[in-house]
Structure 1
Amino acid sequence: MQFLYGVQLLIMILMPLIQMVMKAIGIGFVSYLGSNLIIDQAMNYIVSQMSGAGAVVQQILGLAKIDVAINIYFSAITTRMVLSGLNKLQDRKRAQVWRAPGGTSIEA
């Protein structure tokens, strides 16, 4: 009978922890897939519009390395999104250093 109480205690302790981890994984997974899908759709749209141009225009775009420029642009967007997410994550853990005058702060 005491074993049953121990199992129930473990379930009561571990279930909220497991749910929190699954929510964190789920939110990250959904946001990654969503941003990846949007960037892929935009890139496919641009490439399809370029392929609709005439042969001479496509050759000029190829010589100008527009495809490389488009890849660099979307890589920069992805990098900016990742860095923005990392900065927001870092700001949550940062301790507040400055305090408003009055209250518990020391006034000079």
Structure 2
Amino acid sequence: MHFFYLATLFLTIVTPLVKMALKALGIGVIAYVGINLVIDQAKDYLLANMGNAAPAIQMVLGLAKIDVAINIYFAAITTRLVLTGLNKLADRKAKLGNIGTLEA
């Protein structure tokens, strides 16, 4: 009979915590995949249009390493968006206070 009460207590406490963790991870993964998809499409579009330029212009763009600059720019955008999402998750944890801390 005691196992029933322990199981009920365990499910009452653990189930909301697991749901909250999966929800935070799910939103983060979906947002990252969506952001990455949009950034990749924009980068592919830009590089494809650079390939349609005249050969002389392509050579100048290659010497100037414009493709590397574009990759750095889009990596910075992705990093900024991911860090913003992580900061929001950290703020959410800070609002909980000392609920999640265990003292030894």
TM category, shorter = 0.7 to 0.9
TM superposition shift of 1:91: 5.6
Alignment partner of 1:84: what SS? helix
Q: Is the 8 A contact 2:32 2:82 kept in 1?
A: no
Q: Is the 8 A contact 2:39 2:74 kept in 1?
A: yes
TM superposition shift of 1:40: 0.8
Q: Deviations over 1:55-100 (max 9, x none)?
A: 2221121112111111121122223324434555566648xxxxxx
Alignment partner of 2:84: what SS? helix
Superposition CA RMSD, Å: 2.3
In structure 2, what residue type is equivalent to 1:69?
A
Q: Which runs of 4+ in 1 moved over 6 A?
A: none
Which of the pair has more CA radius of gyration?
A: 1
Task: Flag structure 2 segments of 5+ consecutive residues without an equivalent.
Answer: 96-104
Residue equivalent to 2:63? 63
Residue equivalent to 2:77? 77
Is 1:22 aligned to 2:22, yes or no?
yes
Q: TM (normalized to structure 2)?
A: 0.73
CA distance in 2, matches of 1:13, 1:63: 61
Task: Flag structure 1 segments of 5+ consecutive residues without an equivalent.
Answer: 95-108
Residue equivalent to 1:53? 53
Q: Number of residues paired by the alignment?
A: 94
Identity of aligned residues (%): 56
Alignment partner of 1:53: what SS? coil
Residue equivalent to 2:9? 9
Q: 1:32 to 1:58 in 2, by over 3 A?
A: same
Residue equivalent to 1:102? none
